[in-house]
Structure 1
Amino acid sequence: MSVWDELTGQPEAIALFRAAASGAAAPTTPAAPTAPHAGAMTHSWLITGPPGSGRSNLAYAFASALLCRNGGCGVCPDCRQVAARTHPDLAVLTTDRVIISIDEVRTLVTSSQFSPSVSRYRVMVIEDADRMVERTSNVLLKALEEPPERTVWILCAPSEADLLPTVRSRVRSVRLRVPSAGDVAQLLERRDGVDRETAERAAREAQSHIGMAHRLATNEDARARRDETLNIALGIHSVPEAVLAAARLLDLAKDDADAITEERDAEERESTLRTLGVEPGQAVPMGLRSQVKALEDDQKRRSTRSLRDGIDRILVDLLSLYRDVLLIQLGSHLEPINLAIEGRLEQLARTSEPAETLAVMDAIAAARLRISRNVTPALALEAMLVTVASPQRKATL
């Protein structure tokens, strides 16, 4: 069992990083990589790929392979510390907010100048490198241009275009593909002990998004919320129903966001109070309240981000629904994503036109864009669902 066994659907990328880690016994000269040969080790990497492709999982597997004395065995103290993000030679920057602040990057850059304490390398991981504005990226750029010889940077982003050209020129880019639903299902069976039928349905409905597939396969409430989302959309036949449906979808998104954040928030608060020496049930001393308040503020920002992510997941699920309808209308033999409700998909396909289905899909895409630009989610959902209601009203006439 090694850290590479937890990955799936990326054989070329895994082979490249395994070779690089194996050849990293002697640190390389920190020069900007231009066209390294396959398996060459370099000081800075960029892992890109669509959401759910496993960018951060691959980044931490590579980090384990660099920091582990056994090349990423997955069981030694080094690997366990990397998995817990507590290894002394690993520094991680991730955020639940819209952007990464310049102060966070400055702190990480300062940390990157330290020599490794127990391993061959010091590894710096930025999970959301696309969330840096230009001046923040320029702070990182200096560190990439003149890194210590034993420091390795691993950046993650959806695409190379999300980073400044000057940053892209200083990293070796590795592009991940969307894993197949079969690969994701096998991972869920092997890693999480999920039965085959549940694993295949979760992988298909998550559209090969590894994290979401895991959640659908292991969380009954998450599956129920997704099913209700599709039922709500299919049951809209009038403008008043669209308005009520928008409110219900927003409630579902909040429930999903709360389910994800509440447990994590409680664990963070307990850990913070324990670190500050505050016993359970004891009032927080006046001198420590500012630190607790800072944690609460971070959690509120994360809650806002989690809600927007929950709304976006609902919109992606709705997009999959009408994608299936369109494929049926066009006579495609591709398997539907929402195979469990194939009969209802066929009924809607018979009673509406492809142009109407495309209009609905355009409305969903517009809603995603509006919400990303801070339009009130309720208004964006209402406008979208009014469009959804139009072809479905015909089905009842």
Structure 2
Amino acid sequence: MTHPPGPVWSDLVGQEPVVEILQAAVASSSGEGRSMTHAWLFTGPPGSGRSNAARAFAAALQCDVGGCGHCQSCTTARAGSHPDITLINTAGLSIGVDTARDQVRRAALRPAVGRWQIMIVEDADRLTDQAANALLKAIEEPSAHAIWMLCAPALEDVVITIRSRCRPVLLRTPPTADIARLLIERDGIEPDLAEATAAASQGHIGRARGLARDPEARQRRRNILALPLELRTVGDCVAAAQTVVEAATAHASGRADDSEADELSDLRQTWGVEERGRRPAGYAGALSALEKDQTRRRKRLSLDSIDGVLLDLLSLCRDVAASQCGARTDFVNADAIETIADLSRRWTPESTIRTIDAIVNCREALAANAAPLLALERMMLELRP
């Protein structure tokens, strides 16, 4: 049983210093101080809640009492339907110049119902150079009612001309105990499961919630952690790599299929295309652009899924190394004690480090656009005892 929503800040787990900064800015926006500015850059590790912080801040700025969580402004902001809060996210691998220009034009409009026209750019590190240049002018010379909120993993991931004009807000990795408490109090998760999934998430709030709610996700993760025990021959390594790629592809398709069908339907409606009718001039180009965007999005979703597998394997290696060294620390994968103990006997401390290096090298290769299957096959071969 979930609990009713509290103040908008309640979703920012373990971010008390950030909440203080943002609350001061909200107060300043009403004339009580000088903490408010027109451009913000939220940074922090994956899962720390960069986008959540921006959304909470946006809701509080539109709320008459600074983010009560119950009024129409707060509820519509949380639902993503507030007319004066625009969320700009990455459908493909990057945010292009056309999207940026559309949002710059929107930012110049007066608010419809709120006090501000707020633009939240998720994954600002994925802005193309042209898109960044399009935003720069709007951030340099904003309209009186416009506020830009950019989100990225680190300051260095955003071009210097933009980040130098934004006020930085650094989020930390939320403590495991705080994530577990959120799962228990807000989502009604049983305490033991909440603690286990909070630890397994490695500070990623969304992933912790997903694991806690989905038994199939927890089983997939157990299968991933068991992979190193199954790698005995070259054939085993090739098969394991193929399994990871196929699972990632299926995951991407599952998330993209419905949205792609809706996008195609919207495109046809916009162009007045009938099932058996003639295609208007220009429709073929628009369809081709849509299909390219959808292909890029599927690739990104697939790579994100593979990266999740690699992070799980890294956390397993960390636990094995801790066990081998006799470190007095909690395991990330406390629900895989037998696997950790078995690998601690099979591997030497030196081979554990080599395994970590192999996984890190695979992540770097994928980031450099290596073929996923080949990168994973090479990594699996190095994971064999």
Partner of residue 9, structure 2: 4
Looking at structure 2, the residues matched to 80 and 109 of structure 1 have their Cα atoms a distance apart, in angstroms, of 25
On the 8 A contact 2:222/2:336 being kept in 1, the answer is: no
Question: C-alpha deviations, 1:147-183, integer Å up to 9, x for none?
Answer: 1122111110000011122212111001000001111
Partner of residue 69, structure 1: 64
Bigger shift: residues 198-207 or 65-74:
65-74
Partner of residue 362, structure 2: 367
1:24 aligns to 2:29 (yes or no): yes
**Structure 1 unaligned residues grouped into runs of 5+:** 29-36, 392-397
Looking at structure 2, the residues matched to 121 and 343 of structure 1 have their Cα atoms a distance apart, in angstroms, of 54
Looking at structure 1, the residues matched to 186 and 205 of structure 2 have their Cα atoms a distance apart, in angstroms, of 12
On the 8 A contact 1:96/1:306 being kept in 2, the answer is: no
On the 8 A contact 2:226/2:339 being kept in 1, the answer is: no
Tell me how far 1:96 sits from its aligned partner: 3.0
> What one-letter code is carried by the residue in structure 1 that aligns with 2:300?
R
Partner of residue 31, structure 1: none
Partner of residue 322, structure 2: 327
Tell me how far 1:267 sits from its aligned partner: 6.4
Per the alignment, do residues 327 and 92 of structure 1 end up closer, same or farther by CA in structure 2, a change over 3 Å counting? same
> What one-letter code is carried by the residue in structure 2 that aligns with 1:45?
W
Per the alignment, do residues 254 and 207 of structure 1 end up closer, same or farther by CA in structure 2, a change over 3 Å counting? same
Partner of residue 139, structure 1: 134
On the 8 A contact 1:47/1:55 being kept in 2, the answer is: yes
Tell me how far 1:115 sits from its aligned partner: 1.6
Looking at structure 2, the residues matched to 359 and 245 of structure 1 have their Cα atoms a distance apart, in angstroms, of 19
Q: TM-score normalized by structure 2?
A: 0.90
Tell me how far 1:257 sits from its aligned partner: 2.9
Q: 1:354 aligns with which of 349, 353, 362?
A: 349
Aligned partner of residue 237 in structure 1, secondary structure: coil
Looking at structure 1, the residues matched to 367 and 163 of structure 2 have their Cα atoms a distance apart, in angstroms, of 25
User: How many aligned positions are there?
Assistant: 376
On the 8 A contact 1:6/1:191 being kept in 2, the answer is: no
CA RMSD of aligned residues (A): 2.5
Question: C-alpha deviations, 1:96-115, integer Å up to 9, x for none?
Answer: 32211111111111211112
Looking at structure 1, the residues matched to 247 and 224 of structure 2 have their Cα atoms a distance apart, in angstroms, of 8
> What one-letter code is carried by the residue in structure 1 that aligns with 2:167?
R
Aligned partner of residue 149 in structure 2, secondary structure: strand
Tell me how far 1:207 sits from its aligned partner: 0.6
On the 8 A contact 1:253/1:314 being kept in 2, the answer is: no
Per the alignment, do residues 66 and 264 of structure 1 end up closer, same or farther by CA in structure 2, a change over 3 Å counting? same
Partner of residue 49, structure 1: 44
Tell me how far 1:67 sits from its aligned partner: 1.4
Question: C-alpha deviations, 1:2-21, integer Å up to 9, x for none?
Answer: 21112211011012112211
Aligned partner of residue 156 in structure 1, secondary structure: strand
